Structure 1
Amino acid sequence: MNHTPRHQSATSLPRAPRDDASRRMAKYYIMMSVRVVCFVLMFVITPYGWYTWVLAVGAIFLPYLAVVIANVGQESRAPRATLPERQLPAGPSTPPATTPPPTVLRIHESDQKPPADS
């Protein structure tokens, strides 16, 4: 049995709860807006026909779908953590050749004054 520690990758962290809630609320409001449009068009469009029934089905069942979709949070589809070490390319198989250190030039200032030109 392999007991390697599972590291959390920053790229696989779930969405922040505030962002997740605002995204779900936006989906809910959009679906409820479509429901209101279906409800209004059901009475406005005349003569009544098959499309009236389609709009009525939308007005009746969209609230249920909106609630179900809005309640599906990030928890149910949380991504699995991806180890960042596995995503990095492998390094060179041979160690790089060692180079001698560069030559360092040191410059020292002296307190002597340069000779005056006459």
Structure 2
Amino acid sequence: MKSSSHAPSATSLPRAPRDDVDARSIRYLVTMGIRVACFVLMVVITPYGWYTWVFGAAAIFLPYIAVVSANVGQEGRRNRREDPEAALPAAPTAPLPPPAARVIRIEETRPAAPNTPDRPA
């Protein structure tokens, strides 16, 4: 049995915006940390050689990669085609019969005059 720290989702709702921003911030900070490490290794490791150029190139291009990956939210990663056929029923259903016409008539009548001693009923 696989243990997971996240509860399974019963819906197809996207991740909360706050969680998406947190994940993008962490991804940006990790990439920039790798860039700082590459810059420090470029300066500190001697004798200079081909690896100095690799660390320098990483220190130059990692900020671009960090910004682009941080700006791509969850919507950019989820560009999968969804098949509408899976949502349709397997067999067509018979059409419903038309509803019977219902006519409601409301008629107003005058109230009968009350029996008064002056008027016989």
TM-score interval, normalised by the smaller of the two chains: 0.5 to 0.7
Structure 2 unmatched runs, 5+: 1-8, 88-121
**Equivalence map 1:1-118=2 (5 Å):** 10-78=10-78
- Distance apart, 1:76 and its partner CA: 1.9
What SS is found at the alignment partner of 2:55? helix
- Letter matched to residue 21 of structure 1: V
Range that drifts further, 71-80 or 59-68: 71-80
- Letter matched to residue 22 of structure 1: D
- Larger Rg computed on CA atoms: 2
Alpha carbons of structure 1 residues 29 and 66: separation in structure 2 relative to 1, 3 Å: same
Residue 35 of structure 1 contacts residue 63 of structure 1 at CA under 8 Å; is this kept in 2? yes
- Distance apart, 1:11 and its partner CA: 2.9
Aligned-residue CA RMSD (Å): 2.6
Would you say how many aligned residue pairs link Structure 1 and Structure 2? Answer: 77
Distance 1:34 1:12 in 2: 34
Q: TM-score, normalised by structure 2?
A: 0.56
Q: What is residue 97 of structure 1 aligned with on the other side?
A: none
Q: TM-score, normalised by structure 1?
A: 0.58
Alpha carbons of structure 1 residues 10 and 77: separation in structure 2 relative to 1, 3 Å: farther
Distance 1:41 1:13 in 2: 43
- Distance apart, 1:77 and its partner CA: 3.3
- Letter matched to residue 61 of structure 1: F
- Distance apart, 1:75 and its partner CA: 2.0
